[in-house]
């Protein structure tokens, strides 16, 4: 016979920033409805922050504010970690687990670095750890990987998982803006942080790629296993050249489980304007999952923002509250495989390389020879691009030469580009972009 426990399920919130504040709002404003869905009252018992005087959200009772974060971890049934970063977040999460609390977090950096350790700690203590908001904001992606697709074999995932960079590239494409102008616009509108490094250098997407690979392939994949390229080198010329070829530039996270092992990569790529990812605008995210039986799945939605991310956080809180109310735990994260990590030269792709050249007879033949000598096959050449800036000491206009290759490995491609750049008529830094098949 089931015994009914009417005691409130205590939620401790660590962090009162953008997402933390919106999470508190949903918990307070929807308390009755969330409790009805759970079967027991859900009560916010504390909000830990560095400076309570700076918290001005009207829905957060000032009496709940505390600087005793460790103490809150030990008196809550569910600890919601939204402070970000590696430490002290890791210590607080482990403190909560040791105290018998389940954890909900949106901290992708923490999970990309210490995920397997935290999953094991939770499993050994008999509590849950949920993190839907760590990848894709409001998009339900993590739970389908943990539960819906657990009977299938996922072979690859790729998509747009960073709203800031997608907004910047989208503005550059639709409005013809330079990178810096688009970045400043993103900051003014709140889509980019004051220090946008983590986004524009691809680090945020890389953290998410590590989590995606770990869940999809049941093998521990760390941020240290992810190769990363950001978008800081993307210029208006790159965007214009892509547009002329009916393509767009997107920053992609790509994880694959191939013959050579698991690869997790983040890089800007050219995709055809008719590809579904080409129509993902603004700060939206979209992820494709390819599984053996399910075939292709696409997840799309708001990838950032306080309220959308808080939606995913509160969804995890209610899920865990239901488990507590029913006296059970959710599914663990089985990392039973120890798959090798694929070397960088195991991955092949087509590339678009844009050189700046001092145009004169024989240039194209000399460049083609460098490609041929290294076994890189050329698929197409476009010299009909707008001339670019003048080179100091050079009286003529610099020309843009764009070469698209057939599939080759990246190391060979970069060696080829380096050789071309040593030719006396090539100047500046070439642009290298993968071409999505």
Answer yes or no: is 336 within a domain.
no
* Enclosing domain of residue 260: 148-301
> How many Cβ atoms are within 10 Å of 361's Cβ, its own excluded?
6
Q: What is the reported pLDDT for 396? A: 66
Domain endpoint, select from 268, 301, 334: 301
Answer yes or no: is 376 within a domain.
yes
Answer yes or no: is 13 within a domain.
yes
Token match 């504010």: residue?
65
Contacts 24+ apart (CB under 8 A), 420-426: 420/355, 420/367, 420/370, 420/371, 421/355, 423/366, 423/367, 423/370, 425/357, 425/358, 425/359, 425/360, 425/363, 425/366, 426/355, 426/356, 426/357, 426/367
Tell me which of 55-69, 328-342, 374-388 is least confident.
374-388
- Whether 356 and 317 map to the same domain: the answer is no
- Whether 291 and 311 map to the same domain: the answer is no
Q: Is the dihedral of CA 165, 168, 172, 178 positive or negative?
A: negative
Answer yes or no: is 338 within a domain.
no
Which helix (H) or strand (E) covers residue 8, if one does?
A: none
Which helix (H) or strand (E) covers residue 84, if one does?
A: none
Token match 């003529």: residue?
396
- Whether 221 and 280 map to the same domain: the answer is yes
Q: What is the reported pLDDT for 365? A: 94
pLDDT band per the 50, 70, 90 thresholds, residue 231 = very high
Residues annotated within a binding site for L-homoserine: 193
Our answer to whether residue 208 is catalytic in this structure is: yes
Residues annotated within a binding site: 14-21, 108, 193
Answer yes or no: is 334 within a domain.
no
Q: What is the reported pLDDT for 383? A: 77
Answer yes or no: is 163 within a domain.
yes
For the chain, the C-alpha Rg in angstroms (whole number) is: 25
Instruction: Give the tens place of pLDDT for each residue, 162-188.
Output: 999 999 999 999 999 999 999 999 898
Residues annotated within a binding site for NADPH: 108
**Domains identified in the chain, total number:** 3
Answer yes or no: is 333 within a domain.
no
Catalytic residue among 62, 113, 189, 208: 208
- Whether 297 and 311 map to the same domain: the answer is no
Q: What is the reported pLDDT for 2? A: 45
Q: What is the reported pLDDT for 385? A: 66
Instruction: Give the tens place of pLDDT for each residue, 238-283.
Output: 998 899 889 999 999 999 999 999 999 999 999 999 999 999 998 8
Q: What is the SS3 assignment for 402?
A: strand
- Whether 320 and 383 map to the same domain: the answer is no
């Amino acid at each position: 016979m089931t015994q009914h426990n009417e005691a409130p399920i205590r939620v401790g919130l660590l962090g009162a920033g953008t997402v933390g504040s919106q999470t508190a709002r949903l918990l307070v404003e929807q308390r009755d409805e969330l409790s009805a869905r759970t079967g027991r009252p859900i009560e916010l018992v504390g909000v830990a922050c560095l400076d309570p005087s700076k918290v001005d959200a009207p829905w957060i009772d000032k009496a709940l504010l505390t600087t005793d974060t460790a103490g809150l971890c030990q008196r809550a049934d569910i600890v919601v970690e939204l402070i970000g970063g590696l430490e002290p977040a890791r210590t607080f999460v482990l403190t909560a687990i040791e105290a018998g609390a389940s954890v909900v977090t949106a901290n992708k950096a923490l999970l990309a670095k210490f995920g397997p350790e935290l999953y094991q700690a939770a499993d050994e203590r008999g509590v849950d750890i949920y993190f839907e908001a760590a990848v894709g904001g409001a998009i339900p992606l993590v739970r389908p990987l943990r539960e819906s697709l657990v009977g299938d074999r996922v072979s690859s995932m790729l998509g747009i998982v960073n709203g800031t960079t997608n907004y910047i590239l989208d503005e550059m494409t639709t409005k013809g803006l330079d990178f810096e102008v688009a970045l400043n616009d993103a900051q003014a509108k709140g889509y980019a942080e004051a220090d946008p490094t983590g986004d524009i250098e691809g680090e945020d997407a890389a953290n998410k790629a590590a989590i995606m690979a770990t869940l999809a392939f049941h093998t521990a994949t760390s941020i240290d296993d992810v190769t990363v390229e950001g978008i800081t080198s993307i210029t208006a010329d790159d965007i214009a050249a892509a547009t002329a070829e009916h393509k767009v530039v997107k920053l992609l996270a790509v994880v694959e489980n191939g013959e050579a092992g698991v690869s997790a990569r983040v890089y800007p790529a050219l995709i055809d304007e008719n590809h579904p990812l080409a129509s993902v605008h603004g700060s939206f995210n979209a992820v494709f999952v390819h599984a053996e039986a399910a075939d292709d799945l696409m997840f799309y939605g708001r990838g950032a923002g306080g309220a959308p991310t808080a939606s995913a956080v509160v969804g995890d809180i209610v899920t865990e509250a239901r488990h507590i109310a029913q006296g059970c735990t959710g599914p663990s994260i089985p990392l039973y495989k120890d798959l090798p990590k694929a070397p960088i030269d195991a991955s092949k792709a087509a590339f678009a390389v844009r050189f700046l050249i001092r145009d004169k007879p024989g240039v194209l033949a000399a460049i083609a020879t460098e490609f041929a000598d290294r076994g890189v096959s050329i698929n197409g050449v476009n010299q009909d691009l707008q001339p670019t800036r003048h080179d100091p000491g050079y009286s003529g206009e610099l020309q843009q030469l764009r070469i698209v290759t057939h599939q080759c490995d990246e190391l060979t491609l970069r060696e080829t580009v380096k050789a071309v750049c040593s030719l006396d008529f090539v100047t500046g830094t070439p642009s290298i972009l993968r071409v999505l098949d």
